[in-house]
Amino acid sequence: MTQRVAVIDYGMGNLHSVASAMEHVGAAEVIVGHDHDAIRAADRVIFPGVGGIRDCMSAIRDLGCDQLLDQALRIDKKPVLAICVGMQALMTRSEENDGVACLDTIPGQVVFFGEHYQDASNERLKVPHMGWNKVAPAKPHPLWHGIETGARFYFVHSYHVVPDDPDVIAAHFEYGLTGCAAIARGNLFATQFHPEKSHQSGLQLLKNFLTWDGTCS
């Protein structure tokens, strides 16, 4: 199986770590860009994201990355991995930046953790949710292969996704609430955490993505 990976770049920051991590786990070729033909030629696609949602969404639309993503996901049915703001951009709407309409690929909302955020025992929780938290898989999925239960992954976000359909949730995290750490639906997998920054567990997930056939079983 050839392993050409395209990382969709819409100009919002550090994509090289995703690309380097994919090379590190054995991708034959990693393309970073938004060239239509190059992305169509890839075997699998990564949709990353860093930064404020408003600027991300306008860059995604201005550069036609929404169409690239639709092509890969729905028409070509390639395995797609969305990361962090990339996952948030797939939802219907985000509260960030006074409310921004997103791609509505996965119906649901992106919501703020809250001001003066606390857990049930009134312990104060800092926002952004920044650091290494445990990820609890909600169901078996090929991308969890070889990752121990309760492994910690690196998160950095102030907003989290709430899908309308809880069945798409592939993993949870605990941070004052039970949040959605990952989504799985057909050939799409999405993570709120950064696998490319999560050392061995993250690299294992990316390695799994590289051999994933795009099905959920």
Partner 1 sequence: MPLAKRIIPCLDVDQGRVVKGVNFVGIRDAGDPVEIARRYNEAGADEITFLDITASHEERATTVHTVEQIAREVFIPLTVGGGIRSLPDIRTMLNAGADKVSINSAAIDHPELVADAAARFGSQCIVVAIDVKRVSAEGASARYELFTHGGRKPTGIEAVSWAKKMAQLGAGELLLTSMDRDGTRNGFELVITRAIADAVDIPVIASGGVGALQHLADGVTRGGADAVLAASIFHFGEYTIGEAKEFMSGQGITMRL
Residue 23 CB, shortest distance to partner 1, in Å, is 8
Rounded distance between C-alpha atoms, residue 20 and residue 17, angstroms: 5
Handedness of CA 175, 196, 141, 93 (dihedral sign): positive
Q: Nearest to residue 9, comparing CAs of 119, 122, 86, 117? A: 86
- Helix, strand, or coil (residue 100): strand
Active site annotation includes 29: no
- Segment interacting with partner 1 (CB under 8 A) among 72-80, 100-108, 117-125, 207-215: 117-125
For position 58 contacting partner 1 by CB under 8 A, the verdict is no
Rounded distance between C-alpha atoms, residue 145 and residue 76, angstroms: 25
Rounded distance between C-alpha atoms, residue 91 and residue 74, angstroms: 16
For position 116 contacting partner 1 by CB under 8 A, the verdict is yes
For position 29 contacting partner 1 by CB under 8 A, the verdict is no
Residue 178 CB, shortest distance to partner 1, in Å, is 10
- Segment interacting with partner 1 (CB under 8 A) among 72-80, 99-107, 111-119, 185-193: 111-119
For position 24 contacting partner 1 by CB under 8 A, the verdict is yes
- Tokens for 12? 């919002």
Q: Nearest to residue 179, comparing CAs of 196, 158, 195, 204? A: 158
Residue 74 CB, shortest distance to partner 1, in Å, is 28
C-alpha angle 76/180/184, rounded to 5°? 25
**Rg of the chain (C-alpha set):** 16
Q: What secondary structure letter does DSSP report for 158?
A: S
For position 209 contacting partner 1 by CB under 8 A, the verdict is no
- Segment interacting with partner 1 (CB under 8 A) among 32-40, 72-80, 168-176, 184-192: 168-176
Q: Name 188's bridge partners.
A: 80, 185
For position 13 contacting partner 1 by CB under 8 A, the verdict is yes
Q: How many residues bind partner 1 (CB under 8 A)?
A: 42
Selected from 171, 196, 209, 210, the binder of partner 1 by CB under 8 A is: 196
Active site annotation includes 65: no
The residue from 56, 65, 84, 102 that is catalytic is 84
Question: Where does this chain bind partner 1 (CB under 8 A)?
Answer: 13-14, 16-17, 20-21, 24, 50-52, 55, 85, 115-117, 123-134, 152, 154, 156-158, 173-175, 194, 196-199, 202-203
Residues annotated as catalytic (active site), given as ranges: 84, 194, 196
